Amino acid sequence: MSEDKVHPMSTAGYKSLFDTLYPPLCLFANQYLNDMDISKDVVQDVFIKIWEQKTQYPNFNANKSFLYTAVRNRSLDYLKSKYHRGVMQSSDLEFDQLHSEEFFLTQLTIVDTYSQLEIAIKKLPNKCERIIRLSLKAYTNKEIADEMSISKNTVKSQKRIAYEKLRHSLGSLLNIF
């Protein structure tokens, strides 16, 4: 029997897929739609459709690929419908760019990178995680120290710890940042 045999996805498997991919898919859709509420609706629609159709793929990567493509297509359909109803003004050039494989792959890379960074940050000790999150919001070391009621030196040492752990977790991905 072939190892590629597709097994029906259990409710737990579907929930795990949803929990893992819903946030990055929403961010991905938002790259097309520039409206997070509509993006969430689009992603939910895609998940509902695959649940109702009992769409099955042999592994997580195949599911992930299908979902990103489905979200892209659903987002483009939404934009086309708004454009044709006259709600949105857009040039053919913009639609061509959104339809391009290059745009799709670029946005996919950005969202996937963000997701991996988010997972790595969540694995940090609580204090390190909070300091890194404030740092990403452009807080200075002094502002972080004041916000958390700790010394500036503690902020620096916690950042060093966090960066070391992130370097280990993310490897070469960290070079992008």
Using pLDDT thresholds of 50, 70 and 90, give the confidence band for residue 157. Answer: very high
Torsion, Cα of 150, 159, 170, 35 (10° steps): 60
Alpha carbon distance 72, 74 (integer Å): 6
Using pLDDT thresholds of 50, 70 and 90, give the confidence band for residue 169. Answer: confident
Domain boundaries, the chain: 7-122, 123-177
Q: Which two tokens stand for residue 49?
A: 């459709």
pLDDT exceeds 50 at position 6: no
State the pLDDT at residue 1.
40
Fold (topology level) of 123-177: Arc Repressor Mutant, subunit A (1.10.10)
> pTM, whole model, 2 decimals?
0.56
70-123 pLDDT tens trace: 999 999 888 888 765 555 555 544 656 666 677 777 777 777 777 788 888 889
